[in-house]
Structure 1
Amino acid sequence: MVTDRYGHVLHEGTREGAAHLDRAVEALLFFSPELVPAVADLLATDPDAPVGQALAAYLGVLGTEPADAAAARARFEEFTARVDRTALPPRERLHTAAAGALLSGDLHRASRILEETSLAYPRDALALFVGHQLDFLTGDAVRLRDRVGGALSAWDLDDPHRGAVLGMYAFGLEESGHYAEAAEAGTAAVERNARDVWAIHAVAHAHEMRGRFADGIAWFEARTADWSADTFLTVHNWWHYALFALEAGDTDTALRVYDTTLHHERSQGLAMELLDGAALLWRFRLDGNGCATDLTGRWKRLADAWAARMDPPFYAFNDVHAVMAYAGADRVAEAERLVADRRAWLARTAPGTVTNRAMTAEIGLPVCEALIAHARGDHAAVVDHLWPLRRRLHEFGGSHAQRDAVQKTLLDAALNSGRLDLARALLSERTALRPASTYNWLTHARLADAEGDPARAAAARLRAHELGWSVGVPV
């Protein structure tokens, strides 16, 4: 009888294959590039092992790359054609069902099956990790927290992978608003494994959501060697670092991160990296930090990279960032073509068939239309599109920090369209949550200027200046 490191019996597994599976799952938990050869070795050694095939299928979708998903679907169909799924043991049957649901585009069903798996097998790290990532992709903050919290007690304090589970729990805590607890859990995970980049990322989010930008910079800089290279999360964590620098008014550092890490001539053009690039440049467009550098060339190269992908409908969150790049590059016609393509897809796709359909119809396309309107200077239309959605944006995935670019777009449009009542309410919300945000105080100054109160505007700018200095860089 062959088992994995967690004690689960492996159907059709060999000892060599089990070692490759353990290696692959550990790499997955810590976002290590070792994952790629480990999965290849696993499939070559035990091609009919259901958990190994499910792992490969999961990876084909989680990267949100349509070509990878298509290849994973073909491989998984070959596997299921030669296997009697009804004869599989319960755990393997659950993983096979979850993988099939995910490859068919039903993220919510896959999530539910993996939750059922975690109830029966709370030490199944693969089920926990993939379910956790699906909760992120679908914006389900409560499940992001409780899926892992419900399994945590099954992990002994001395288990080498308890830290990875804590890191996942930290991110779920942060996304559901428990910022102090998230920082505590994430820090504990990093103390167990300094290279736990998901836990490092979770603590960075906790600092971001509380407006503690100096703490965020210090957190990253104290452990640069552990997160800044050779992980699947490297680019995204650099994006977080750039956000902290931008908030501090250090536009030079933020642009240097963009040029050296987020998007450059050696970038692979992966969707998750391109969306980080678009999200950072869009903030430059909105933040009002006085960037003296012309961003035209960067926008053009980024838009070119999105255009080269020619993605089919797959994940609305990616579509929004492609449109963001086109809008930033003043290539509105390309943005409109993408929107038209997605509308045509909606017309020929039945409701309830794939999760991305509702994401696109209800959230993705209205946000795309808002970005196009912003590029045209039609700020009233931006407000019309985004104001009704501002509390529903989580439904198309991403984190609070990622979706904040859209929230800032609404605030900018409210100011530019003269909807000062909306701007005042939005700023009040933001400042109550992040009183140390330089962006918030610079925007307070814009609002005061619009209301004809120069004294209040000057006081707000002074506050932003002081906050910038507290981080170490003047605004």
Structure 2
Amino acid sequence: MEMDRHGHAMSGTGDEAARHYERALDALLFFRGEVADEAQAMAAAAPRSAMAQVFGAYLGLLGTEEKEAAAARKSFSAFLGAVDLAGLSPRERMHAAAADAWLDGDMFRAGEILGELSCEHPRDALALAVGHQIDFFSGDAQRLRDRIGGALTSWDADDPHFGPLLGMYAFGLEESGHYSHAEETGLRAVERHPRDVWGIHAVVHTYEMRGRFADGIRYMDARTADWADGNFLSVHNSWHYALYALESGSIERVLAVYDNTLHNESSHAIAMELLDASALLWRLLLAGVDVGPRWATLADAWAGREDGAYYAFNDVHAVMAYAGAGRIADAEQLVKDRELWLARTDPAVSNQAMTREIGLPVCQALIAHRREQYTRVVELLAPIRYRLNFFGGSHAQRDAIQRTLVEAAIRSGRHDDLARTLLSERISLRPICPYNWQARARLADRLGDPGQAVAARTRAEQQAAAGAAALG
């Protein structure tokens, strides 16, 4: 029986398929495009290999693309119907159970199974990497941190995969609020592998969350050759760069990043890239920036996908695009479709609860905001503001929704106490953030406190100037 590099049995897998597995795993850990080709080559070399079939199933799921998941479901079901599971190793059966659960829509159960697997086999890099992404998709910061942390001491620091595990751990640390430790760990990961784009991504998050956007700009500029192309994360990391530019007040630079990288005529209509485009334009909308025809083009891209109910986080960003483009009827139709879907869907499907509890209220709030129904926005978002993580994404990604609540509270003219509280929370947590101080100035204007308004605007201008200097 073939073994992987860490001594895990791979049933029905010969030497050639095993080589393709190792290359596919390396590509997965470093977000390289050849992962699909290597996984397909493994399956072609050993079609009855459990790990080949499991790997293919995971790839069909990790992109949060409904159609890819459906194709993976069909292929994996055929495999399960033809294989004797009793002949697989216990580890392989756990992988098969995790893939099967996720393909059936129970992402939470898949994450639990992979967690159990990692406890028994802490050197299974595939289980750790896939479980890590599930924790990200479900917004579970503690598991995002501890799934990797619980396995790290079982690894030799000289192992080639130890570096990307550090990058994953750094992201989990950052999402859990351990910013300094996360930065240190992420830098260690990138020192080992300069093109570890997930590690770079983790470091970038630590700067974002602490308002160190000037440092973030310098860090990303110094490493452009390592993250800007040749990987699946280049668009997302460009989105982070655009956030730094936005805090620095450079709208021209923000739009240049959008046009050159986030969305243009050469872009593929991939959900994970479209949602970055939506999230950036929505922040510009909140700031009162006219982005011209960009909303319309982006809304067309979302509409062309004809998505069903698959992942609530994607739905929210589609609604952002429709609302931003003024296509309120399309946004409302998506909401109606999801309401009908909820009525007929098994509660065991993870996206059912994610849609019901978070996705739909957020979608409705975005529509209400576009209609300038700010009190309605507050009614929808205030009760769930501490649970937004439940439908996935990072703190940085979900901040577009948090800012929507802040803006609605200020603009409604009826929620001054809430607006003050929200801004106090934000400023206390992240005192270096021009947006926070600008919003505080606008609230002070509304409340007739010119002294506080001037002081807040001065703080915002000083902080933005630091970032502008880094942009050059």
- Same fold, judged at TM 0.5 (above): yes
How far 1:474 sits from its partner (Å)? 11
Query: Could you say which residue in structure 1 is the equivalent of 2:416?
Result: 420
In the alignment, structure 1 residue 462 sits paired with structure 2 residue 441: no
Structure 1 contact 296–329 (Cα < 8 Å) conserved:
no
For 1:452 and 1:86, the matched residues in 2 are separated by 73
SS of equivalent to 1:268? coil
* Equivalent of residue 326 in structure 1, options 314, 317, 322: 322
For 2:80 and 2:226, the matched residues in 1 are separated by 40
In the alignment, structure 1 residue 23 sits paired with structure 2 residue 29: no
Equivalent position amino acid for 1:431 in 2: I
Q: Deviations along 1:422-463, whole A, 9 cap, x unmatched?
A: 111111111111111011111111011011112221221111
In the alignment, structure 1 residue 250 sits paired with structure 2 residue 250: yes
SS of equivalent to 1:472? helix
Structure 2: which 5+ residue stretches go unaligned?
Answer: none
Query: Could you say which residue in structure 1 is the equivalent of 2:338?
Result: 342
Query: Could you say which residue in structure 2 is the equivalent of 1:205?
Result: 205
Query: Could you say which residue in structure 1 is the equivalent of 2:37?
Result: 37
Structure 2 contact 313–392 (Cα < 8 Å) conserved:
yes
SS of equivalent to 2:64? coil
Query: Could you say which residue in structure 2 is the equivalent of 1:130?
Result: 130
* Equivalent of residue 401 in structure 2, options 403, 406, 414: 406
Counterparts of 1:95-114 in structure 2, within 5 Å, are 95-114=95-114
SS of equivalent to 1:318? helix
SS of equivalent to 2:36? helix
How far 1:412 sits from its partner (Å)? 0.1
Structure 2 contact 186–199 (Cα < 8 Å) conserved:
yes
How far 1:231 sits from its partner (Å)? 0.3
Query: Could you say which residue in structure 1 is the equivalent of 2:233?
Result: 233
Equivalent position amino acid for 1:314 in 2: Y
How far 1:337 sits from its partner (Å)? 0.2
Equivalent position amino acid for 1:369 in 2: Q
Equivalent position amino acid for 2:286 in 1: L
For 1:436 and 1:287, the matched residues in 2 are separated by 18
In the alignment, structure 1 residue 282 sits paired with structure 2 residue 278: no
How far 1:275 sits from its partner (Å)? 0.4
Equivalenced residue count is: 470
Q: Deviations along 1:150-204, whole A, 9 cap, x unmatched?
A: 0000111111111111000000001111111100100000000000000000011
How far 1:268 sits from its partner (Å)? 0.7
In the alignment, structure 1 residue 260 sits paired with structure 2 residue 260: yes
14-23 or 454-463: bigger deviation: 454-463
For 1:22 and 1:380, the matched residues in 2 are separated by 54
80-89 or 20-29: bigger deviation: 80-89
Identity fraction in percent? 60
Equivalent position amino acid for 2:416 in 1: L
64-73 or 462-471: bigger deviation: 462-471
SS of equivalent to 2:2? coil
Q: Deviations along 1:387-417, whole A, 9 cap, x unmatched?
A: 0000000000110000000000000000001
With normalisation by structure 1, the TM-score equals: 0.97
224-233 or 451-460: bigger deviation: 451-460
4+ residue runs over 3 A deviation: none
* Equivalent of residue 387 in structure 1, options 382, 387, 404: 382
Structure 1 contact 468–474 (Cα < 8 Å) conserved:
no
SS of equivalent to 1:312? coil
Q: Deviations along 1:217-239, whole A, 9 cap, x unmatched?
A: 11111100000011000100000
Equivalent position amino acid for 2:373 in 1: D
With normalisation by structure 2, the TM-score equals: 0.98
Q: Deviations along 1:95-143, whole A, 9 cap, x unmatched?
A: 1111100100100110011011101110100000000000000111100
For 1:441 and 1:287, the matched residues in 2 are separated by 13
Structure 1 contact 319–364 (Cα < 8 Å) conserved:
yes
Structure 1 contact 249–474 (Cα < 8 Å) conserved:
no
SS of equivalent to 2:159? coil
